[in-house]
Amino acid sequence: MHESLTIGQLSARSGVAPSALRYYERLGLIRAERTGGNQRRYARTELRRVAFVRISQQVGVSLEEIREALDSLPSSRTPTPDDWAALSRAWRDRLDEKIRLLGKLRDDLDGCIGCGCLSLQRCTLYNPEDALAAEGPGARLMLARPGADAASD
């Protein structure tokens, strides 16, 4: 039907606000051609990119990481289903790992809080290396954990 989509159309079809789409473009997550009058026109394949971005976000991946992942797609040609499949396999591993960690967290929570030992002992619950999902935003420079020993209470 239409060769390309306006930003409004892409927004409506993806459910992502135009302002967010422009933001994504600045970050290099999606691309757009321009009309003579400087308006964005999106190839329909961009829809897939937007979908990938949003889905990945739901899994807790930052836009920067998503950008890196998308950079692995061939830029010279339109990505094939196989290209996307490779990408999503990598993402699948991420998901598996995240699920594994959440399951561990749940089991530990049962065993730990239940028994009253909830105090960051060897509880694994509190292992920063496990760096699960949901690393909030904000300045995160003071990461060094100096003496962090465990309490008995």
Partner DNA sequence: CTGCGACCTGAAGCTCACTTCAACTCAAGG
Partner DNA sequence: CCTTGAGTTGAAGTGAGCTTCAGGTCGCAG
Which positions touch DNA (CB under 7 A)?
Answer: 6-9, 11, 17-20, 22-24, 32, 35-40, 57, 62-64, 136-142
Helices (H), 27-116: 46-58, 63-71, 81-115
Q: How far is the CB of 49 from DNA (least distance, A)?
A: 13
- Binding of a second copy by 67 (CB under 8 A): no
Q: How far is the CB of 29 from a second copy (least distance, A)?
A: 14
Q: Which of 38, 58, 140, 47 has its CA nearest to residue 98?
A: 58
Residues 128-147 that bind a second copy (CB under 8 A): 128, 130, 132-134, 136-137, 142, 145-147
Are 20 and 29 within 8 A, CB to CB? Answer: no
Residues 20-59 that bind a second copy (CB under 8 A): 44-45, 47-48, 51-52, 54-55, 57-59
Q: Which tokens go with 24?
A: 């994504």
CA distance 88 to 118: 37
